[in-house]
Amino acid sequence: MAQADVSTAPSQRSLDSLGQTGRTDAWWTGPIATALGLGGFIIYSTFRAFYNADYDFGEASQLLHVLEQARQPTGEISRHAHLLSPFYSPTIILGGSLAWVSPAFLILWAPGGFRLTCYYYRKAYYRAFFLDPAACAVGEPSGLCGFKRGRNYQGETRLLVFQNLHRYFMYVAVAFIVLLYLDVIYSCTWPVLDDSGAVTGHEFNASLGSLVLFVTTTLLALYTFSCHSIRHLIGGRLNCYPETATGNLRYRLWSIVSILNKRHMLFAWLSLFMVGFADFYVWMVASGRFTDSPFFS
Amino acid sequence: MNQPTTQDVTLEIFRGDDDGGEMVEYTVEVQEGMVVLDAIHAVQAQHAGDLACRWNCKAGKCGSCSGEVNGHPKLMCMDRLDNYEAGETITVRPMKTFPIVKDITCDVSWNFERNAKIQTLQPRADTDWQFTQREADRVQEFRKCIECFLCQNVCHVLRDHDRKEEFIGPRFLVRLASLEMHPVDDADRLEQVKDEFGIGYCNITKCCTEACPEGITITDNAIIPMKERLVDRYYDPVLWLWRKLTGKD
């Protein structure tokens, strides 16, 4: 038999401070997982940038051979194709009074800026680190780290207006994809040695290291080419696609990027994980803790 | 013929108005396949004839029965009771962002006032009204909007920061995108989108997309493309230089 029970509960109009919500699900798991994932990567990449060692292994690539001559590896190392951590690619050799500077800091600003201004990552870190909002229909703090919130919220209109420079970081990121694929080619270019150990030529081979670099670079390429700015520039900015070769091409490219764009978040996380793992793998090989053997004898 | 399965469901429903109120608990008998709106109607029929609730089509197409069920912005007519555990108390509140008229009914007139400020479709002088399907695809997605205002409700810029004067909200950024991307439209609304309608307040946290019962990809297909068009116009120094040198857009 149906019955009516009258009880009192807080009015819903009071739902206005951090974490107050009518939601009964585990809404906090998303921002916590994001904070752990992004925070962990930031800590690891910063540590590795300061570490400034064990970031490559094997014979230096042909392109870099002259620059690398001063520290050309010998013995066991010289018989391996060149493996280079993506954190330190392209190779930058600083001499003289700048020798103490980690080249990673001259490199990581570019992919870091690309991810910082990325439309997906903006959602991720605004939610996870700035709690703005932490989750949908969940109350926000009235202040954070001394900054007042509420009616003082400015969004991306003032301090954060720099986010609009995302497309410039994207241009640099595309150039990095080319460089990283060159690293994959170098990692498959193994030296051929004569009986005395001298290099007489090069041949194709592959190893777990080159496979890791290939997967990493491909995921980075998928993340980069699913970018919202590319989607706009390649065809999204048009309202009409004329029945011309150019119009057809731009529509087709826009359609392809749109398909990739639906998985932008997936590519963002996979590529972030793999780029960290690739650096870790090269670190382990370069420090002698793991042997990277070629697949084909 | 089999009798439909019945069971008791307990609901906590907000009773009151914009000056305050309380959550009141009701237990009603419901049948298999019913939705939250059915349960609300059962409460009206069995316990509280004065319970105010706006509804119309019961088919997820009129956008009238928007509310917050267990804290989630939803259409009550599309939220099946078997989504919830047996014995679970279901809370029903009005949309937080708008003033409450009575109980779970809100005054959403602010939305219509803002909508009136948007310049309607301005076809080119020589428009022949023929365009291809591939040009129509993008704006057709935006036509699915039923104006339930769940996206407006869940948008934290309006909900938590109360920037209703400065920010027009996701529903109307969708409408603006549908006009700006329309293949025969000739009007220029970008300055208005930036200044009067405050698209910069959106920090693309995508709650509007998550809440949309019609599955419109609001952030990725409407708001971000509009932001990119603003970058073209206001924040891209290379394009600015290109326009200065060539006179072309």
Kindly write down the DSSP assignment for every residue of B7-18, as one continuous string.
EEEEEEEEEEET
Contact B160 A16 (CB under 8 A): yes
More confident residue, A232 or B126: A232
Helix (H, G, I), strand (E, B) or coil at A253: helix
Given a contact cutoff of 8 angstroms between Cβ atoms, the answer to whether A129 and A144 are in contact is: no
Contact A164 B73 (CB under 8 A): no
For residue range A133-160, list pLDDT tens digits in order: 999 999 888 766 666 666 688 889 888 8
* Predicted pLDDT at B240: 87
pLDDT band at A201 (very low <50, low <70, confident <90, very high): confident
Q: Find the distance separating the first CA and the last CA of chain B, reported in whole Å.
A: 69
Q: How far apart are CA A212 and CA A279, in angstroms?
A: 10
Contact B134 A241 (CB under 8 A): yes
CA distance A42 to chain B (A): 21
Contact B156 A119 (CB under 8 A): no
The DSSP annotation for A51-79 comes to H--S-EESSPPTTTHHHHGGG---GGGGG
Which two structure tokens, joined as six digits, stand for A284? Answer: 């382990």
* Predicted pLDDT at A142: 74
Contact B154 A127 (CB under 8 A): no
CB contacts of B211 in chain A (<8 Å) are: 136
Q: How far apart are CA B128 and CA B184, in angstroms?
A: 9
Domains of chain B, earliest start first: 6-106 (3.10.20.30), 109-246 (1.10.1060.10)
pLDDT band at A200 (very low <50, low <70, confident <90, very high): confident
For residue range B30-62, list pLDDT tens digits in order: 999 999 999 999 999 999 999 999 999 999 999
pTM of the model: 0.91
- Answer whether residue A60 is part of any domain: yes
The answer on pLDDT for B3 being more than 90 is no
Helix (H, G, I), strand (E, B) or coil at A264: helix
For residue range A43-78, list pLDDT tens digits in order: 999 999 999 999 999 876 544 555 555 454 545 566
Given a contact cutoff of 8 angstroms between Cβ atoms, the answer to whether A219 and A274 are in contact is: yes
The answer on pLDDT for B172 being more than 50 is yes
- Torsion angle defined by CA atoms of residues B49, B54, B60 and B66, in that order, rounded to the nearest 10 degrees: -110
Percent share of chain A, pLDDT over 90: 66
- Answer whether residue A15 is part of any domain: no
Q: CA nearest B99 in A: which residue? A: A13
Contact A6 B25 (CB under 8 A): yes
Helix (H, G, I), strand (E, B) or coil at A281: helix
CB contacts of A261 in chain B (<8 Å) are: 220
B133-142 and B170-180 are packed helices; what angle lies between their axes, rounded to 10 degrees?
160
More confident residue, A95 or B28: B28
For residue range B190-221, list pLDDT tens digits in order: 999 999 999 999 999 999 999 999 999 999 99
Q: How far apart are CA A241 and CA B136, in angstroms?
A: 11
Q: How far apart are CA A232 and CA B225, in angstroms?
A: 6
Residue A150 phi/psi, 5-degree rounding, is 65, -125
Q: Select the residue from B163, B178, B219, B231 to test the A interface by mutation, using most A Cβ atoms within 10 A.
A: B231
| Helix (H) / strand (E) containing B80 | none
Percent share of chain B, pLDDT over 70: 98
Q: Is the dihedral of CA A31, B199, B196, B152 positive or negative?
A: negative
A109-116 and A166-187 are packed helices; what angle lies between their axes, rounded to 10 degrees?
130
CA distance B36 to chain A (A): 16
- Least confident range of A94-98, B28-32, B61-65, B119-123: A94-98
- Answer whether residue A22 is part of any domain: no
- Answer whether residue A211 is part of any domain: yes
Mean pLDDT of A176-198: 91
- Answer whether residue A244 is part of any domain: no
Please tell me chain A's helix, strand, coil percentages from 3-state DSSP, rounded to the nearest 5.
Answer: 55, 10, 35
Which range marks the domain in which residue A137 is found? 29-226+263-286
HSE (side-chain half, CA atoms, 13 Å) at B146: 20
Which two structure tokens, joined as six digits, stand for B197? Answer: 């309608």
Give the CA angle between residues A233, A237, A240 to the nearest 5°.
130
Which two structure tokens, joined as six digits, stand for B150? Answer: 């769940």
A166-187 and A208-225 are packed helices; what angle lies between their axes, rounded to 10 degrees?
160
- Answer whether residue A250 is part of any domain: no
* Alpha helices, H only, A6-134: 29-51, 65-68, 104-107, 109-116, 119-128
User: Which of B154, B200, B236 lies closest to A136 in CB terms?
Assistant: B154
- Answer whether residue A101 is part of any domain: yes
User: Which of B71, B162, B211 lies closest to A151 in CB terms?
Assistant: B162
What is the number of domains present in chain A?
Answer: 1
| Helix (H) / strand (E) containing B56 | none
The DSSP annotation for B115-156 comes to HTTS----B-TT------HHHHHHHHHHTT-----HHHHH-H
Helix (H, G, I), strand (E, B) or coil at B66: strand
User: Which of B25, B162, B180 lies closest to A5 in CB terms?
Assistant: B25
Average model confidence (pLDDT) for chain B? 94
* Predicted pLDDT at B17: 94
* Predicted pLDDT at A193: 83
Q: How far apart are CA B205 and CA B199, in angstroms?
A: 13
- Least confident range of A1-15, A63-77, A275-289: A1-15
- Answer whether residue A194 is part of any domain: yes
For residue range B71-85, list pLDDT tens digits in order: 999 999 999 999 999
Q: CA nearest B23 in A: which residue? A: A9
Q: How far apart are CA B162 and CA B166, in angstroms?
A: 9
Average model confidence (pLDDT) for chain A? 87
